[in-house]
Amino acid sequence: MMKYDNDGLHENKKNQQLDHFRVDDTGKKLTTNQGLKVSEDEHSLKAGDRGPTLMEDFHFREKLTHFDHERIPERVVHARGFAAHGVFELYESMTPYTKAKFLQDPAVKTPVFVRFSTVAGSRGSGDTVRDVRGFSTKFYTEEGNYDLVGNNIPIFFIQDAIKFPDLVHSIKPEPHNEIPQAATAHDTFWDFVANNTESAHMVMWHMSDRAIPRSFRMMEGFGVHTFRFVNEEGRAHFVKFHWKPVLGIHSLVWDEAQKIAGKDPDFHRRDLWEAIEMGDYPEFEFGVQIIREEDEFMFDFDILDPTKIWPEEIVPVKIIGKMTLNRNVDNVFAETEQVAFHPGHVVPGIDFTNDPLLQGRLFSYTDTQLIRLGGPNFHELPINKAVCPIHNNQRDGYSRMAINKGPVSYHKNSMAHNDPSPATAEEGGYVHYEEKVEGRKVQRRSDSFKDHYSQAKLFWNSMSEVEKHHILQAFRFEVGKVKSPDIRQQVVDMFANVDSELARQIAIGVGANPPEGSTTESNVTETSPALSQMNTVKTAQTRKVALLVDNGFNADELNLILTALKEAGVHGEVISRHLGMIQSADGKNLQVDATFLTTDSVVYDAVYVAGGTESSASLSMLKEAKDFIADSYHHYKTIGAANEGVELLTAAGISTAEQTGAGVVIARTEEEVGSLSKEFIHAIAQHRHWARQV
Chain residues in the site for ligand HDD (CB under 6 A): 75-78, 81, 115, 117, 134, 136, 149-151, 156, 161, 164, 224-225, 306, 339, 341, 357, 360-361, 364-365, 368
DSSP secondary-structure letter at 101?
A: G
Is residue 151 part of the annotated active site? The answer reads yes
Closer to ligand HDD at the Cβ: 358 or 651?
A: 358
Whether the link from the prior residue into 412 is cis, omega within 30° of 0, is: yes
- Sign (positive or negative) of CA dihedral 521, 523, 526, 528: negative
In angstroms, the CA 69 to CA 349 distance is 41
Rounded alpha-carbon distances, angstroms, from residue 429 to 348, 387, 424: 7, 17, 5
Is residue 231 part of the annotated active site? The answer reads no
Any known ligand binding at 123?
no
Closer to ligand HDD at the Cβ: 80 or 470?
A: 80
Other CB atoms within 10 Å distance of the CB of residue 323: 23
Rounded alpha-carbon distances, angstroms, from residue 434 to 209, 353, 430, 448: 41, 11, 12, 23
Least Å distance between CB 341 and ligand HDD?
Answer: 4
Any known ligand binding at 604?
no
**Helix (H, G, I), strand (E, B), or coil: what is residue 560?**
helix
Least Å distance between CB 343 and ligand HDD?
Answer: 8
Least Å distance between CB 150 and ligand HDD?
Answer: 5
Closer to ligand HDD at the Cβ: 76 or 530?
A: 76
Secondary element (H or E) of residue 602 = none
Any known ligand binding at 115?
yes
**Helix (H, G, I), strand (E, B), or coil: what is residue 284?**
strand
Q: Write the Ramachandran bin of 418: left for phi over 0, alpha for psi from -120 to 50, otherwise beta.
A: left
Least Å distance between CB 499 and ligand HDD?
Answer: 25
Any known ligand binding at 475?
no
Any known ligand binding at 476?
no
Assess contact for 399 and 374: CB atoms under 8 A. Answer: yes
CA dihedral of 434, 435, 439, 440, whole degrees rounded to 10:
-60
Least Å distance between CB 222 and ligand HDD?
Answer: 7
Closest CA to 653 of 613, 691, 617, 626: 626
Closer to ligand HDD at the Cβ: 77 or 546?
A: 77
Closer to ligand HDD at the Cβ: 134 or 248?
A: 134
- Sign (positive or negative) of CA dihedral 455, 458, 459, 460: positive
Closer to ligand HDD at the Cβ: 365 or 430?
A: 365
Closer to ligand HDD at the Cβ: 79 or 347?
A: 79
Closest CA to 670 of 572, 552, 554: 554
Least Å distance between CB 168 and ligand HDD?
Answer: 8
Q: Which of 12, 15, 151, 384 does the annotation list as catalytic?
A: 151
Q: Which of 78, 452, 571, 635 does the annotation list as catalytic?
A: 78
Least Å distance between CB 224 and ligand HDD?
Answer: 4
In angstroms, the CA 302 to CA 107 distance is 37
Any known ligand binding at 372?
yes
Residue whose CB is nearest to ligand HDD in the complex, by number? 134
DSSP code string of 483-545: --HHHHHHHHHHHTTT-HHHHHHHHHHHT-PPPS-STTS-------GGG-GGGS----TT-EE
Closest CA to 58 of 48, 50, 66: 66
- 180, with CB counted inside 10 A (0-12, 13-18, 19+), is middle
Other CB atoms within 10 Å distance of the CB of residue 96: 12
Least Å distance between CB 551 and ligand HDD?
Answer: 48
Closer to ligand HDD at the Cβ: 369 or 632?
A: 369
Q: From the annotation, which residues make up the binding site? A: 75, 115, 164, 361, 365, 372
Known binding positions for heme: 75, 115, 164, 361, 365, 372
Active-site residue set: 78, 151
